[in-house]
Chains A and B, each alone.
Chain A
Amino acid sequence: MFIYRHRHHHRDTETDKTSLADIDDGQSGTIVSIFGGRALTKRLADLGLKEGTQIKVIGKTLFSGPVQIEVCGSRLALGRGLASKIIMELK
């Protein structure tokens, strides 16, 4: 069947930290950390995505497609694999 691109679900049950890929539609949270290299982190920062940024999940597509988020009043589409590398703290 459909193979998930992101193999690692960063879900920490003790605190309420979840990867962006696992947040339900309509929920908001704050970025705690981003697992990624320099180039990726830099690109995200140029779009305003950094530790401490507030994000709202607008919606996801079927079959582990991208996640649409609202950040700094703009909307952005992020691949699901990338979303799973962004760790969030839920509000």
Chain B
Amino acid sequence: MTDEKKINIVLAGQGNSGKSSIFNYLTGLHQHIGNWAGKTIEKLEGTLYYKGYTIDVLDLPGIYSLTTYSVEEVISREYIVTQKPDFVIDIIDSCNLERNMIFTLQLLELECPVIIALNMIDLAKKKGIEINCQKLQDIINVPVLPAIASRGTGLTEVIDKVIELKQGEKGFTHLSYGKEIEKCISELSDLLHDVNLPYPPRWIAIKLLEKDRDIVKLVREKKPEIIEKARQLNENLEDIHGHDSSIVIADERSHLAAQITRDIVKMAPHRKLSLNERLDIITTHKFTGYLVMILILGGMFMTVFSFGNRLSSLLDTLFRNWHGWWNDNIGITFLASLGWSAIEGVLALIQIALPYILPFYIILYLLEDWGYVARISFLTDNLMHKMGIHGKACISFIIGFGCNVPGCLSCRIMETKRERFITAVLVTLIPCSAVSVIIFGLVGKYVGLLWALGLYVFAMIVVFIAGKISSKLLLGEPMELIMPMPDYKTPNLRTIAYQTWDSSKEFVYIAAPLVIISGIIIQAINLAGWMPAISSFLNPVTVTWLGLPSITGILLIFGILRKELILVMLAAYLGTADFANALTPQQMITLAVVSMFYVPCVATISVLWKEYGWGKALTICILEILFAILLAGVVKRLLDFVF
């Protein structure tokens, strides 16, 4: 009987429809992130307890269509068809109704119980778009409810609807496409009725007309004569329309979407441009757009740096006397020294890493939620083309500045394997927030801010050259940019807080144990007197070629776990976070350059491994190690002229 109180729903919708805001609003802290079986794609699940019901909510990966071949899309449609959730909540961006409607039509073809949430209805009203919800409900015969996810308005009504309909029967109508298409569909679905497949016959029929590879293969195994029939029908359609039958179906859908939209929308004739629309014009303009972009990105790094620096110094004064206190009260025994290394590691993590990582993520998610990231892609598309990829790669790059792992995963937004791989390789060269800790906390703080900014510019030049080279090595035509431009919206602080918390939480949970363990190991090696032996093994590279202190050899090895460990461990080893005593400015810059490029961290390597195979992952690692050592040695020699 408990089953009656259990409901499972999935959230589906195109990118930028506000799906994640709704997911966060509904499930709050009761969510967990897993992986789809055998895939590196995140599976977001959460639970909502409401009116005595336990409602499991699943956030399907963001998708644009249910027909093309991206992994996300296949996962989504498989889940809907085979797991049969009680309801699919289709989240529609009301400002982009017609485009979203095409997706909705594909969802309805799957014959699953759908409830539509017209999100951002307030923004649509501001744009002069008046939507008649009742009329839409009458046309497509599924419940349609208005919502404003950023404020939580309308979401309770959606869930109330879910509970109300849970008991009743879930009916759906077939929307009809053009006459001759419908004739083809019914001829095929008649043949499909006695074929035992998990999908609705009408949907299979449509997919056969669209020549969907997976479905064609599936049907051929069961009943090859149906494929023959589909081939005849497709040829017939192609003769009439002069297009491939898959395009005929897509046209049909977009035609129907346009018709429905026309029926339910009233546009206000003359109105003034809203502030957001004016902003859009300025930020994508051929001159002011670039100016604004430079100001925003420059401002972002300045803010991260000055905030991080101030907080870091503040924490430094706070923690300064702790070491003395420890020595006075616990003693200077072997165990006490090991204990202090563990503590110093954690303190250094809090003091060196968090002050830079927190503001970085806040600003990154602020720009993303506001809708600015797509503008950066738009403006940099041309530059990206010179590297054999297109503007959307910029999104991966920007995420990569936070952390290379999600940066590499986000390369899936690129359309071809070749572009995905090039983008992933370039992302591994982007200084992530852990490397930024080294750049800001070492070079920025002790050598100068301009040197730190210079290192970023230097990294970008390296990325550009690497892109040029890899696009020459990996043959193939570059794809063209096709990207929806989201409307600007007021950033939702709740969403930003969630995302920042999520990213920093991972940082603390994973980094803290690593810091404690590796801190103790390094101190133990040191106290046992083995340090000279291990370090001398790397001395030819670290001391002779790079001119660094011998200890950096072992730090660079630990840095493979997480890059900020290089600095944090150095602090633990020195027993203080004042690096000016241990390193010269020249050594600081050289160390930063090695850390930036020498190898992706373990987590990034494992993602590369999963996505592209161990051969490619290993090649990237070896090439980057050689490259970084060579480059840093050259930089060191050039710096000889400066310092």
Residues of A within 8 A of B (CB): 5, 38-39, 41-48, 50-51, 53, 58-66, 68, 72-82
Contact = CB atoms under 8 A, between A and B. Distances in A.
A32 B193 CA distance: 40
B257 interface: yes
B286 A61 contact: yes
Given A46-B250, A48-B254, A78-B482, A72 B381 contact: no
Closest 7 pairs (CB-CB, A-B): A79-B480, A45-B250, A82-B480, A72-B98, A65-B382, A79-B481, A74-B96
B280 to A, nearest CB: 8
A46 to B, nearest CB: 4
A82 B481 CA distance: 8
Given A79-B390, A82-B480, A5 B385 contact: yes
Contacts of B593: none
B384 to A, nearest CB: 10
Contacts, number: 131
Contacts of B129: 73
A39 B212 CA distance: 12
Contacts of A79: 381, 385, 390-391, 479-482
B481 A64 contact: no
Given A42-B246, A78-B480, A48 B102 contact: yes
B381 A65 contact: yes
B608 to A, nearest CB: 27
Contacts of A82: 480-482
Interface string B521-552: 00000000000000000000000000000000
Q: Is the interface of A mostly helix, strand, loop or mixed?
A: mixed
Nearest to B96: A74
Residue picked from A62, A64, A66, A68, most chain B C-beta under 10 Å? A66
B99 A74 contact: yes
Contacts of A53: 254
Contacts of A76: 482-485
B247 A43 contact: no
Interface of B: 64-65, 67-68, 95-99, 102, 129, 243-244, 246-247, 250-251, 253-254, 257-258, 261, 280-281, 284-287, 289-290, 374, 377-379, 381-382, 385, 390-391, 479-485, 487
A15 B379 CA distance: 33
A47 B483 CA distance: 10
Residue picked from A44, A48, A78, most chain B C-beta under 10 Å? A48
Nearest to A82: B480
A46 B381 contact: no
A62 B286 CA distance: 6
B482 A47 contact: yes
Contacts of A50: 247, 250-251, 254
A40 B99 CA distance: 17
A49 to B, nearest CB: 8
B377 A77 contact: yes
A68 B482 CA distance: 10
B254 A77 contact: no
Given A61-B379, A65-B379, A82-B480, A73 B102 contact: no
B415 to A, nearest CB: 8
Given A42-B246, A46-B65, A61-B286, 20 more contacts: A38-B246, A42-B244, A46-B102, A47-B99, A61-B284, A61-B289, A61-B378, A66-B483, A68-B284, A68-B378, A72-B96, A73-B96, A73-B98, A73-B261, A74-B98, A74-B99, A76-B483, A77-B483, A79-B482, A80-B382
